[in-house]
A and B are shown apart, each in its own frame.
Chain A
Amino acid sequence: EVQLVESGGGLIQPGGSLRLSCAASGFTVSSSYMSWVRQAPGKGLEWVSTIYSGGTTYYADSVRGRFTISRDNSKNTLYLQMKSLRAEDTAVYYCANLRGTWYFDLWGRGTLVTVSS
């Protein structure tokens, strides 16, 4: 079965760091374009970051310089390293498969990150 399963969310203090993981099954992460999309409580969807199969990465202005997207091909897993976390980073973080450069055709169930003291 093709699926994505996120993990690593939790409660973290402002200024802290957290690493999210997204385990893929049924397809190969290294051959895909993969992304992170977040959703703050009661708010809409916000694209966060994308990594192309060739390794090129892209970030939203709101997280550039603080977040790093990466993958471990041996574990078929996508990561999002988050540093200098702020209250406004509180959200459910979804990983998603990006079809070409166009649309997100497979989503995980999400993991909740809460930044609060």
Chain B
Amino acid sequence: SYVLTQPPSVSVAPGKTARISCGGNNIGSKSVHWYQQKPGQAPVLVMYFDSDRPSGIPERFSGSNSGNTATLTISRVEAGDEADYYCQVWGSSSDHQWVFGGGTKLTVL
């Protein structure tokens, strides 16, 4: 089955830019979706189809996907962005599996 690899942790100072990667074999050919999860809360969709933002998600959040790496970028990071972030893809029409990355803990210093 398809595997998504994320760094366990990313640290960034307030006001700086955080980049969270999600690696997978030829992931650029797939659509990648991202979720934010704060402690004790359910996940929240923050990016879909690589770079589309749901309503209510700040423009500071952006996404890209090419080759073997998809990236969630958070500009002008705020303390409230501290959370776990997960990438996710749908396997395929022949392999109906929904795959999540292992998650990345974003720490705002």
Contacts and interface: CB of A to CB of B under 8 A. Distances in A.
A104 B90 contact: no
A47 B97 contact: yes
A94 B90 CA distance: 18
B48 A102 contact: yes
Interface in B6-50: 31, 33, 35, 37, 41-45, 48-49
Contacts of A60: 97
Nearest to B41: A109
Contacts of A107: 42-44
Contact of A102 (B90, B97, B103): B90
B76 to A, nearest CB: 25
B45 A44 contact: no
Nearest to B92: A101
Contacts of A99: 48
A98 B1 CA distance: 20
A1 to B, nearest CB: 15
B9 to A, nearest CB: 13
B65 interface: no
Nearest to B44: A107
21 contacts: A37-B100, A44-B101, A45-B86, A45-B103, A47-B98, A47-B99, A50-B98, A58-B96, A58-B97, A61-B1, A102-B49, A103-B31, A103-B33, A103-B49, A104-B33, A104-B43, A104-B88, A107-B43, A107-B44, A109-B41, A109-B42
